[in-house]
């Protein structure tokens, strides 16, 4: 087997972009606001399932066809129709992709706001963590057993990325990688501006003490629900990009391990520092790809080691070492928030 550096690089950067969205969203929620979102997979899966629904129902309508049942006897025809539309009608593909992103962000945002506002008014934030963790599993098991969404455990294939009309696969991959990186960059700029605004300062205050923030007139439950809405919408967008990148929507991809991967990324890089989060994403993505490549290479040889499990051990060790020796992450949080502080530094 030959190792294609360019293809691996494209895949790595695409994953980097997608996971950057997830990590930035978690960094806003936990790093800044102290909301322990252990349901990241829930919101990512909302995006993926949305893509599963729009690609099988909406896409044919946009392209001027009658949607076919994607699960039953017409499975093959429906799959072929999707492929033909994505390759032959790029405008329909892009319109569907855009609408999918918007719907996913809306559903993710509404679910994020609703769940957290109700839960945070009842109990403290760790109760929300449990609700989200369990909620992700409930949704996954429900979707796996309920055919109309993504054909239950069979999943939905041919959820192609919008550049698949290019004849050259590599060109299509590079174009999609660039699209993902642009979206990740936009998310980074948005999060950075949010963090350095009075809203970011408010989130930090609530993280440090919601009791004190409330006594200073701040509705902590509502503000935390707002940041959950933003983070969940972002995670749902990442879910669409993730599903479209692999071209397949399956419940198997949105397990608790996905949530934990994103946690390792922000703990490693630096909580409440978005550059740190991106650094964490980069390191973990490289390690993830590297261990995957080594696993494949080993499986091709006579060595009988299941190397995929080394990845879990490695991430666990990284998490423990960081929490023990550098809990603030590689790039720690900066204390200053307000944009007008520099003026006072000069005059004082």
Partner 1 sequence: MLEVRNLQKQFGGLTAVKDVSLTVPQGKIIGLIGPNGSGKSTLINVVSGIYPATSGAVWFKGDDITHLSPHQSFELGLGRGFQDASLFFQMTVLDNTLIPVKKQRGERPWLAPWWRSWLGEEKQNANRADEVLQQVLLRDHINKPAADLSGGQMKLLELARTFMGEPDMLLLDEPTAGVAPTLAYNIFEQIRLMRDQFGMTFLIVEHRLGILFDFVDWLYVMHMGEILAEGTPDEIMANERVRDVYFGD
Chain residues binding partner 1 by CB under 8 A are 190, 193-194, 197-202, 204-205, 208-209, 211-220, 226-227, 230, 333, 335-341, 343-345, 348
CA–CA separation, 63 and 92 (whole Å):
5
Cβ–Cβ under 8 Å, residues 277 and 265: yes
69: left (phi over 0), alpha (psi -120 to 50) or beta: beta
Angle in degrees, 0-180, between the axes of helices 90-122 and 40-53, rounded to the nearest 10: 150
Alpha helical stretches, state H, 162-273: 169-195, 198-208, 210-215, 220-246, 256-269
Q: Which is nearer to partner 1, 212 or 305 (CB)?
A: 212
Give a three-class secondary structure readout of 279-330: HHHHHHHHHHHHHHHHHHHHHHCCCCCCCHHHHHHHHHHHHHHHHHHCCCCC
* Residue 87, CA distances (Å) to 58, 72, 79, 126, 200 in order: 16, 24, 12, 46, 43
Q: Which is nearer to partner 1, 138 or 189 (CB)?
A: 189
**DSSP secondary structure code for residue 165 in this structure:** T
CB of 346 to partner 1, least distance (A): 10
Q: Which is nearer to partner 1, 109 or 155 (CB)?
A: 109
CB of 33 to partner 1, least distance (A): 11
**DSSP secondary structure code for residue 273 in this structure:** -
Q: Which is nearer to partner 1, 170 or 193 (CB)?
A: 193
Instruction: Give the up-direction half-sphere exposure of residue 346: CA atoms within 13 A in the CB hemisphere.
Output: 3
CB of 265 to partner 1, least distance (A): 22
CB of 206 to partner 1, least distance (A): 9
End-to-end CA distance of the chain: 65
CB of 184 to partner 1, least distance (A): 16
Q: Which is nearer to partner 1, 1 or 340 (CB)?
A: 340
Q: Among residues 215, 235, 216, 180, which one has the least CA distance to residue 35?
A: 235
Q: Which is nearer to partner 1, 227 or 262 (CB)?
A: 227
CA–CA separation, 236 and 53 (whole Å):
14
CA–CA separation, 180 and 185 (whole Å):
9
336-343 long-range contacts, CB within 8 A, separation 24+: 337/195, 337/196, 337/200, 337/201, 337/204, 338/198, 338/201, 339/196, 339/197
Q: Which is nearer to partner 1, 67 or 332 (CB)?
A: 332
CB of 136 to partner 1, least distance (A): 24
Q: Which is nearer to partner 1, 252 or 339 (CB)?
A: 339
CB of 192 to partner 1, least distance (A): 9
Q: Which is nearer to partner 1, 52 or 231 (CB)?
A: 231
């Amino acid at each position: 087997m030959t190792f294609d550096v360019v293809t691996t690089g494209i895949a790595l950067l695409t994953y980097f972009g997608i996971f950057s969205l997830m990590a930035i969203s978690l960094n806003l929620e936990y790093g800044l606001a102290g909301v322990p979102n252990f349901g990241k997979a829930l919101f990512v899966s909302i995006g993926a399932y949305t893509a599963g629904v729009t690609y099988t129902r909406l896409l044919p309508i946009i392209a001027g066809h009658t949607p076919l049942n994607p699960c039953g006897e017409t499975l093959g025809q429906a799959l072929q129709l999707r492929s033909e539309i994505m390759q032959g009608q790029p405008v329909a593909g892009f319109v569907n992709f855009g609408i999918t992103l918007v719907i996913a962000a809306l559903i993710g945002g509404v679910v994020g706001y609703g769940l957290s506002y109700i839960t945070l008014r009842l109990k403290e934030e760790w109760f929300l963590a449990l609700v989200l963790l369990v909620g992700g599993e409930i949704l996954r098991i429900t979707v796996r057993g309920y055919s109309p969404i993504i054909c239950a455990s069979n999943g939905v294939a041919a959820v192609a990325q919008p550049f698949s009309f290019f004849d050259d696969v590599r060109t299509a991959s590079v174009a999609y990688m660039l699209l993902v990186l642009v979206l990740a960059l936009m998310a980074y700029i948005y999060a950075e501006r949010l963090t350095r605004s009075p809203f970011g300062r408010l989130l930090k205050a609530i993280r440090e003490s919601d009791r004190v923030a409330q006594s200073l007139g701040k509705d902590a439950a509502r503000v935390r629900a707002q940041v959950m809405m933003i983070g969940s919408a972002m995670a749902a967008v990442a879910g669409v990009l993730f599903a479209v990148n692999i071209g397949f929507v399956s419940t198997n991809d949105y397990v608790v391990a996905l949530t934990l991967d994103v946690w390792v990324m922000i703990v490693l890089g630096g909580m409440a520092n978005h550059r740190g989060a991106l650094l964490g994403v980069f390191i973990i993505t490289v390690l993830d790809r590297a261990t995957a490549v080594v696993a494949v290479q080993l499986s091709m040889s006579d060595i009988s080691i299941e190397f995929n499990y080394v990845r879990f051990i490695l991430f666990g060790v990284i998490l423990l070492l960081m929490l023990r020796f550098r809990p603030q992450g590689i790039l720690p949080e900066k204390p200053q928030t307000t944009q007008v502080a520099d003026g006072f530094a000069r005059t004082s």
